[in-house]
Structure 1
């Protein structure tokens, strides 16, 4: 795309940062994708408030009628869009998808806000719960922690509306990562345990294994090695056997024995356990190459495991690979981990 010269851009950026001029829509579109922010976050203001007509009942009823006519095929279209965004996210990263994700959530919220009867609300709420959880994880990856928290709250409300304890438990489990990133891993562990109680024994074995593994990771960050290893053993005991990794009841969950091995390696690396290295190399051989961000995370875990063994050359090699992949996805979260480990290498 044609943009202004470097000298002019310096002036523009300074003016935008100091609110001396408004960001034109053309540049806003570039900056949203570059920085992984919403339009409101970029411009520093909420959307304009529209003034309602004196009698807004016709418009309200029109929206209610429109929401009430959301068909099963339209809900499927919403879910297909979420699936497309999920696939693009794991291959390209979150930053470039900010506009699509924002519009997708807005359409789902609109449909749910004006759906009146439970039979009309439940399928839309379920679609919103899945999409909000994906958007929240993308926000964590982009370093937008407040946006992530709000999306998880939206996902939990939608899961309540849909009467879907699996979606509620998953949103709670992922929300624990916001607490962990903020330096409260022990509180994150408690939130994951609350999610496990919410789910009970009714949820799928794959989701239960996912929650146990998430608990183990929180405990590792919190310096609770015994609790961590108990949770890892619990995850290994319930994860379904075989190569299949996707949970048919929770499409956002990808977990099998190989994935759990990688997760175990990550957790053991956090504890400084020597077994981490062999687990992580085993996971690297089996990893799907289309999971670009996950592969970057695996190289980061390997670097951390080698650093715990004072193997600095190996750690540096893996950090170089991780930085290359994190550059492809634009992951702020991974770049932060890489920078911290690079200081020790």
Structure 2
């Protein structure tokens, strides 16, 4: 109710009073009344980070027939270079918002944007436009999949990445395909399937080999290192991170790949996460070094900082330092609540402190 009342004015949605909402929510939750108002559906999607289908809302009814087909073909024909750039700009703006504020309010916007681009591409007959639309769609789908994962919807995240791989192939882009494949492997790590994740990551590196810029190959090597660490392959994991450091370009910013945010601080954080998974005592040193760099960096993504705080909480707990674990867990919990990261709240709920047991932080 608090979310609805606070968020509604910014979303352009009119909601009932708090007392009326209490009655309405009770009737919705008990299945006595369907949620038919589109504004309320939007707020539910944002709050839970789920789609209409996942929430059990009826699918939107669309007209069909010859006139509908002609209308959609006409819309697709109206697409020009400026429209394509507008789509990409919208994705970049949402990515920037995600990096600074998290996924709590952008996932529903991404879902709608993906559907819009999918519709245009489906009815476009221009080969040149379809290829460019497929590349833009891949970018949108991987971003939507990543934010869905952060909101705790592994199934939605998986489907977005599967769709992203399809559109990457239509875009004839090995580097987009490699990125979507490697990012999908993180979902497997989250659900406890490290061997399958490593297999995907190896395939991603094969796809990108000699066909992708060094920045992407750096990112893929580090992602591979994380997967190998989760699988308990200590030496191979550290070798992958050594390869990542060797591949890192002097300028780690590539306008052609705005989805990659990577520098020495991010690599240190990633390596620290791998060392933590491996039970290596150097994890704290690597993560603290990353914290010093990323906390003062204007390019640090808020989700990366959150992941680092959670890793540090676990690292200090593993080292028997209750105070350090509690301090970082508190910082992580506050940040996770602010950006709506269900994924990291889930991790925090499993933190066990020396002498105190499960913290219950969620």
Q: What TM-score do the two structures reach when normalised by structure 1?
A: 0.92
Shift of 1:25: 3.5
Alpha-carbon contact 1:28-1:42 (below 8 Å) kept: no
Separation in structure 2 between the aligned mates of residue 154 and residue 318 of structure 1, nearest angstrom: 36
**Partner of 2:338 in structure 1?**
328
Aligned residue among 23, 30, 53 for 2:43: 30
Name the CA distance, whole Å, in 1 between partners of 2:208 and 2:312.
32
1:255 aligns with 2:267: no
Mapped contact 1:91–1:291 kept (Cα < 8 A) = yes
- The residue number in structure 1 matching 2:326 is 316
In structure 2, list runs of 5 or more residues that go unmatched. 6-14
Aligned partners of 1:262 and 1:247: how far apart in 2?
A: 21
The question of whether the paired residues in 2 share the 8 Å contact of 1:38 and 1:98 is answered with no
For residues 80-111 of structure 1, give each alpha carbon's deviation from its aligned partner in whole angstroms, at most 9, with x where no partner exists: 10011011112222121233112211111011
* Distance verdict in 2 for CA 1:3–1:246, change over 3 Å: farther
Residue 166 in structure 1 maps to residue 179 in structure 2: no
- Counterpart CA distance in 1 for 2:307 and 2:325 is 13
Report if aligned partners of 1:130, 1:252 keep a CA contact under 8 Å in 2: yes
2:32 counterpart of 1:17: no
- Alignment partner, residue 338 of structure 1: 348
C-alpha spacing 1:26/1:75, structure 2 compared with 1 (3 Å): closer
In 2, the alpha carbon distance for the partners of 1:340 and 1:251 equals 33
Structure 2 residue aligned with 1:273: 280
In structure 2, distance between residues paired with 1:301 and 1:51: 50
Deviations 1:247-291 (A, max 9, x none): 332110111222111111111111121211111111112113562
2:153 equivalent to 1:144: yes
How many Å separate the matches in 2 of 1:221 and 1:71? 45
Match of 2:8 in 1: none
Backbone CA RMSD of aligned residues: 1.9
Secondary structure of residue in 1 paired with 2:184: helix
Q: Which residue is 2:239 aligned to?
A: 230
Change (3 A) 1:256 1:26: closer
Distance 2:271 2:180 in 1: 21
State the 1:140 CA deviation: 0.3
Q: How far off its partner does 1:61 sit?
A: 3.6
Shift of 1:115: 1.3
In the alignment, which of 150, 174, 177 is matched to residue 186 of structure 2? 177
Which is worse superposed, 165-174 or 294-303?
A: 294-303
Cα distance between partner residues in 1 of 2:16 and 2:232: 50
Q: Deviations over 1:14-72 (max 9, x none)?
A: 43234220124343333222222223322344333x4534xx1x542442243133111
Q: Where does structure 1 lack aligned partners over 5 or more consecutive residues?
A: none
The answer on 1:200 being equivalent to 2:209 is yes
Q: TM-score, normalised by structure 2?
A: 0.88
2:55 pairs with 1:46: no
Q: Confirm or deny that 1:303 pairs with 2:313.
A: yes
When residues 30 and 65 of structure 1 are mapped into structure 2, their CA distance, relative to the original with a 3 A threshold, is: closer
Map 1:115-134 to 2 at 5 A.
Answer: 115-134=124-143
